[in-house]
Structure 1
């Protein structure tokens, strides 16, 4: 992408795999990530500002159903200001729940009679390594804990021409199965308006809903691609990618593929919710 973006903005960060991949490969000098879920935002605040405390919690916890129940309770009751406690709850549940969905049920079920045990995705050494990589990138990451539209509005004046935005909003269909708060259609329209009017270079990904091409991004280039899903049941589906007219398919391929190759950096799956 020419010129290279001065910063990368990901308003629906979740696991922030693309942001971390681009930073790790030095494709962008800095990133702004945001998430409206207080628990996800608390995880990122803890990972960026209190990495040693978060790593200690990962090292010392027992990966048992008792711990799962405790962290599931904390997810809804912890003080949002206690970012280490709430952030660890989000992290623990992400690694021990089905498909990494925070408010889902544990891997193996509540009776642990499933084919996989609760701790099958809780590799402490690997998780600590990933958290250390995030800490190393922390000075290049700015966190926005709140609404995605608010983030885009706040950054618009300074970043409209220099930044590259990648938005991965909740699906138009079945989003309540994956996200804490499903976006209303009017908010999806507001997102499209904000991207088209406020930023020169952006990409947004969606499920294959006809409203993407017929209404939301009817004046933009749209690419359909295959993607393997793991939430609910593993399957290969299709998604859409709309992009600003300032971005070519070559730009999109080079930048995003470079990030995808480095997704191992993120401590969380990209579908964190």
Structure 2
């Protein structure tokens, strides 16, 4: 088998606070959990960067991706089921402000039904908007297209087509859903639970409303925890570092790690991590042996 490569970005989407860099750490957790015929599940899929990295590096046999956002779901469905048409659009679509306005109109006028057009509009805006944010964000370079980076800065056609083709080659191992998180966990998760490892990356508690179309209220965060803790399979949860989340998850060991992303301040942002069972936490020796680099620390380890 080829050597695992977690430095690659396999997702065609850009995501604020994208957790791609956690892939080797989660791969280690999956190996520690010793799950046979493993299925990796992301109930808040978004860009699915970790899921794709684990699948394409043969860490897991299948992946399950769920996103309640109809536009994001439509993007994944179009990529998997109408691959040739999706690629043709990437090849031919103009990347300019006039086309941006056209794609924004399609996105804003979306119905409750799937369509290739809606899926591609989400893809287009994700690749051309500042920080990849779909709602409440303008195009890279602004409407007057001035500055160091312009609207096509993140629209490398050939690289994006390569990613789409690579994902489509593995579509038989990808299970896609468009369900509310409660419905997904109650009605669909039992089908996979025996062989599953689940990564929960819910909408941020503090900035959720600004970043996500389907953000959570404080009550929602508590309700989701109540569902997560009852799962009969190993899981990991990551969150923004706020007291409310620490309180909700107080029954589980809390550790912090640094995530580098460009959304807010181009710097490090400490986030929280929780695991289903303390036995899953890797030792420093295990991290070193697996060549996993992560600044993971407990509550008493300093900032």
TM-score (norm 2): 0.79
**Residues of 2 paired with 1:149 and 1:220: CA distance?**
21
> Match for residue 227 of structure 1?
259
1:209 partnered with 2:228: no
C-alpha distance 109-32 of structure 1, shift in aligned 2 (>3 A): same
**Residues of 1 paired with 2:99 and 2:82: CA distance?**
21
> Match for residue 72 of structure 2?
40
Map 1:104-123 to 2 at 5 A.
104-123=137-156
Please say if residues 227 and 237 of structure 1, whose CA atoms lie closer than 8 Å, have aligned partners that are also in contact.
yes
- Report the CA distance between 1:55 and its aligned residue: 0.4
**Residues of 2 paired with 1:155 and 1:28: CA distance?**
19
1:2 partnered with 2:33: yes
Map 1:1-273 to 2 at 5 A.
1-4=32-35, 6-103=38-135, 104-214=137-247, 216-245=248-277, 247-250=279-282
Q: Which has the higher contact order (CA 8 A, sep 6+)?
A: 1
**Runs of at least 5 residues in structure 2 that lack an aligned partner in the other structure:** 1-31, 294-303
> Match for residue 296 of structure 2?
none
C-alpha distance 259-118 of structure 1, shift in aligned 2 (>3 A): farther
Q: How far does the alpha carbon of each residue in 1:51-97 deviate from its partner, in whole angstroms, 9 at most, with x for none?
A: 11100000010101000000001002144535210111001100000
**Residues of 2 paired with 1:60 and 1:233: CA distance?**
34
Q: How far does the alpha carbon of each residue in 1:197-246 deviate from its partner, in whole angstroms, 9 at most, with x for none?
A: 123300010000122222x2111122100111211442211001111116
**Residues of 2 paired with 1:54 and 1:258: CA distance?**
37
**Runs of at least 5 residues in structure 1 that lack an aligned partner in the other structure:** 261-273
RMSD: 2.2
**Residues of 2 paired with 1:157 and 1:223: CA distance?**
28
Please say if residues 40 and 90 of structure 1, whose CA atoms lie closer than 8 Å, have aligned partners that are also in contact.
yes
**Residues of 2 paired with 1:91 and 1:258: CA distance?**
33
> Match for residue 268 of structure 1?
none
Please give the secondary structure, in 1, of the residue aligned with 2:229.
helix
Please give the secondary structure, in 2, of the residue aligned with 1:57.
helix
TM-score (norm 1): 0.88
> Match for residue 270 of structure 1?
none
**Residues of 2 paired with 1:80 and 1:40: CA distance?**
12
**Residues of 1 paired with 2:207 and 2:117: CA distance?**
30
Please say if residues 159 and 199 of structure 1, whose CA atoms lie closer than 8 Å, have aligned partners that are also in contact.
no
